[in-house]
Structure 1
Amino acid sequence: MSAADTHTATFTVSGMTCGHCVSSVEEEVLEIPGVSSVEVGLESGRLVVSPNPVDPAAVRAAVDEAGYTVTAEE
Structure 2
Amino acid sequence: MSASTYKVSGMTCSGCAGKVTAEIRKVAGVSSVDVDLATGQVTVTSDGPLDDEQIRNVVEEVGYEVVPA
TM-score w.r.t. structure 2 length? Answer: 0.90
CA RMSD of aligned residues (A): 1.4
- Equivalent position of 2:20 in the other structure: 25
The percentage of counterpart residues that share the same residue type is 40
Q: Which has the higher strand share?
A: 2
Which 4+ stretches in 1 moved above 4 angstroms? none
Which structure has the highest helix share of the two? 1
Could you say which structure has the larger radius of gyration? 1
Cα deviations by residue, 1:8-60 (Å, 9 ceiling, x for unpaired): 00110000111100000000000001111101111110010112510001100
TM-score under structure 1 length normalisation = 0.85
Gaps of 5+ in 2: none
Matched with 2:43 is: 48
